[in-house]
Amino acid sequence: MKQRLGQILSRRSVKMVFLIFTAIVISTASTTVYYALLSSSAVTTEEAAVHFTAGDDSTEAGYSPGTNETYAELTDIKAYPNITLTYEQAMNVTNTDTSAHQIRLRHVSISPGDGDDSVGNFTSIAFKLVDTSGAVQGTLEYTTTGDDWNEPSPTGYVSLPASTEWIIRVETKAAPGAKKNVACSIEIAVDVQ
């Protein structure tokens, strides 16, 4: 019997099957090997170096700062037919850091949306980022075509110097014959790098 088993095991085909079986067992075992990379992080709360602050026209504009001044509302902005109404310092953007930061204005949302007949009551609403010399560094201007908004693209990034306060000027104009008490809501972002 031992001699017969030895003859069977000495055949090439049996050796080949045994070799393939061994390879399968080894490859299956090796696919279960894995490892993990670990990372540890510490997060600390801080005050935002660039934030909103009140400007000279903030009271008239209805400026209301959110917690930590990272959010603000302007609730009393008006628009008159055929007249550009300017809120010279509706609110300010202040950099309290010791280094400069890149900032830009960006459209987020506007309502009512396109196709609403109340949109045609407005001609333009502009948000202008003005530096300490009075130069406009970026403008988001919303205009209308019929009952549709022409939404602006983000402004380019500009450098807000350390320990500096810039102005956000708001300019509005309603269409001739605009109805009274028609409102729109605009949300913009000041992106900071």
- Kindly give the interhelix angle for 2-10 and 12-30, rounded to the nearest 10 degrees: 70
pLDDT value at residue 136: 98
Residue 173 lies in a domain: yes
pLDDT value at residue 81: 96
Mark whether 17 and 68 lie in a shared domain.
no
Mark whether 146 and 73 lie in a shared domain.
yes
Mark whether 80 and 159 lie in a shared domain.
yes
Mark whether 28 and 78 lie in a shared domain.
no
pLDDT value at residue 39: 85
Tens of pLDDT, residue by residue, the chain (193 residues):
556 655 655 566 666 666 676 666 666 555 556 677 888 889 998 889 999 999 999 999 999 999 889 999 999 999 999 999 999 999 999 999 999 999 999 999 999 999 999 999 999 999 999 999 999 999 999 999 999 999 999 999 999 999 999 999 999 999 999 999 999 999 999 999 9
Instruction: Quote the number of domains for the chain.
Output: 2
Residue 40 lies in a domain: no
Mark whether 87 and 11 lie in a shared domain.
no
Mark whether 60 and 8 lie in a shared domain.
no
Mark whether 128 and 163 lie in a shared domain.
yes
Mark whether 112 and 171 lie in a shared domain.
yes
Mark whether 122 and 64 lie in a shared domain.
yes
Mark whether 72 and 146 lie in a shared domain.
yes
pLDDT value at residue 46: 87
Residue 177 lies in a domain: yes
Sheet containing strand 101-111, strands side by side: 158-160, 101-111, 185-192
Residue 42 lies in a domain: no
Mark whether 70 and 114 lie in a shared domain.
yes
Residue 45 lies in a domain: no
Mark whether 152 and 118 lie in a shared domain.
yes
Number of Cβ atoms within 10 Å of the Cβ of 189: 13
Domain that holds residue 14: 1-34
Single pTM value for the model: 0.78
pLDDT value at residue 2: 57
Provide long-range contacts, Cβ within 8 A and 24+ apart, for 178-184. 178/79, 178/81, 178/121, 178/122, 179/118, 179/121, 182/118, 182/121, 182/122, 184/110, 184/111, 184/112, 184/118, 184/119, 184/122, 184/125
Distances (CA, A) of 44 to 41, 47: 10, 10
